[in-house]
Amino acid sequence: MSFTVICFDCDSTLSKIEGIDELAKRAGLGNAMSALTEAAMNGSVPLEAVYAKRLALIKPSCADLNWLADVYIAEQIDDIHEVFSRLIAQDKQLHIISGGLRPAILPLAKALGVPAEHVHAVDIYFNQDGSYHDYEQHSPLARNGGKATVVKALAQRGKVVMIGDGITDMEAKQAGAYTIGFGGVVQREAVKQSADVYVTTPSLLGVLAHLQ
């Protein structure tokens, strides 16, 4: 199956971490945040029910986001550069669609050759001293169905595939995308049942055969 637009989730897909959980651990709130994240990714609670709550508790600063950017890169998934290099050589349009925080994802995207305008994530705002102020509350990616909204716009450019580990990634099917569930970091039964195809290899190379 041939795709023009190839979209990847970030957390537990391009990187082995969940960014919001790492920020929570850094703030001493790890266990509570992990439970909320898992509930949202499994689809047992709406994403919008936990998104604002997590950030209000963590209050990540600009320095925290810079730190997280480094962790994303340090914990990137196996064989990621080989996969992206091959897809770029084939002139595929590569996008990252994430409910994560955009400033922390941008450096990883740059390292992979993905332009900043192809990074769809939730922006975050800081006070002049770098402390947390607010997040992009109207972003579709801070609620369920948001990835379908982004994919719907991208579908005008050609056939779209969405690759990710969470139930929010599988919602891209609502916009006509083919979905590949990625269980190389975390395996979720709800995602396995919903995806058009499910991959459990720890390397991102496992998805490549389904993109040719």
**Could you give all domains of the chain from N- to C-terminal order, each with its CATH number?**
5-208 (3.40.50.1000)
User: Residue 180: its pLDDT value, please?
Assistant: 98
What's the rounded Cα separation, in Å, for the pair 83 and 105?
18
- Active-site annotation, residues: 9, 11
Token pair for 152: 């719907």
Q: Residue 205 is encoded by which pair of tokens?
A: 């190379």
pTM (whole model) above 0.85: yes
Contact 166, 144 (CB under 8 A): no
Mean pLDDT per 10-residue section of the chain, whose length is 212 residues: 93 96 90 77 78 90 98 98 97 97 98 98 98 96 94 95 96 96 96 97 95 83
* Structure tokens belonging to residue 117: 């305008």
Q: What percent of the chain clears pLDDT 70, i.e. is strictly above it?
A: 100
